[in-house]
Amino acid sequence: MTQPAPGEPLLQVENLVREYALPREKLFGPVPKVHALNGVSFSVRSGRSLGIVGESGSGKSTLARLVMALDQPTSGTVKLMGRDLHALPREELRRARRDFQMVFQDPYGSLDPRQTVERIVGEPLAAQRNTTRAEQHRQAGAVLESVGLRAGDMDKYPHEFSGGQRQRIAIARALITRPRLIVADEPVSALDVSVQAQVLNLMQDLQAEFGITYMLISHDLAVVQHLCEDVAVLWQGRIVEQGPPEKLFRAAEHPYTQALVAAVPKAEPSARQTPLATPSQSQG
């Protein structure tokens, strides 16, 4: 497995911009554009976890897609272990994908209901085209056991599992290539509260066992605080504040971060803060 150069971050994002064209207001008028991301930069060292927080529309999912090389940036770079993912030829990018995988938000929609668990979990290995069916079967069984399921579950279909178990299957699928980086886009938001902690604890255990680096996308500050050593606050396509969660959430400096923290429900109704109000552009 390729290693990052000494002192080099595992993941390095520099000046990432993503624009989307909107319909023209006039037939011969200029094409209006919206900036989903507007100059985002950060880095993550191996074995660490970075949380990306912000409201819907802040650019979180766009960022996840660009880091996963599922979309092309307008400008800027995404480097994993020193390789610019968006500059790699198609075949090299396919081989590189064993080093970075994704866990999606919906444990129901992200698993093909027509395929067995073995096919679902083994799919990333099959895509690499360098393993036999017998090896895929063996590794699928091993990785299912590593996430607390049984190898005997491989012949079952997704509808035979609970939401929490389905997300474990999704995590197993991400783990099977032994990636260095896992991008998790709202991995527990669709789960019952009672199951969320189980999945987050599992992710922590897997990080300790395999040295995985996480980039966790979430709107839930408690989830990020549970799993991440560093947090970046995304607002209107820009990172407005970054730091350790214990510092960021107790002594936030940017008005938007302060508003996010204030919007978290409190146990005592009398102590509840005012609802989230997006600060004006002039405060950024």
Cα–Cα distance for residue pair 131/126, rounded to 1 Å: 7
**Res 171: pLDDT:** 94
Exposure of 228 in the CB half-sphere (CA atoms within 13 A): 32
| Residue type (1 letter), 178 | R
- 46-74 per-position pLDDT tens digit: 999 999 999 888 999 999 999 999 999 99
- Report the length, in residues, of the chain: 284
**What domains can be seen in the chain, in order of their start residue?**
11-283 (3.40.50.300)
Q: What is the DSSP string of 112-124?
A: -TTS-HHHHHHHH
- Is residue 230 within 8 A of residue 49, CB to CB? The reply is yes
Using the Cα atoms of residue 179, residue 185, residue 190 and residue 191 in order, give the sign of their dihedral. positive
Name the DSSP letter for residue 26: S
Per-residue pLDDT for 263 more than 60?
yes
Per-residue pLDDT for 281 more than 60?
no
What token pair was written down for 239? Answer: 């990172």
Return the C-alpha torsion angle 13, 75, 184, 208, nearest 10. -20
Cα–Cα distance for residue pair 91/86, rounded to 1 Å: 12
Single out the residue of 175, 123, 113 nearest to residue 144, CA to CA.
175
117: exposed, middle or buried (Cβ count in 10 Å: 0-12, 13-18, 19+): buried
**Res 7: pLDDT:** 58
**Can you tell me the mean pLDDT for 9-15?**
96
Q: Which helix (H) or strand (E) holds 138?
A: helix 133-146
Which are the contacts of 79, defined by CB distance < 8 A and separation ≥ 6? 11, 12, 13, 14, 85
Which are the contacts of 225, defined by CB distance < 8 A and separation ≥ 6? 51, 231, 245, 246, 249
Per-residue pLDDT for 282 more than 60?
no
Per-residue pLDDT for 269 more than 50?
no
- 134-179 per-position pLDDT tens digit: 888 999 999 999 999 999 999 999 999 999 999 999 999 999 999 9
Cα–Cα distance for residue pair 120/52, rounded to 1 Å: 27
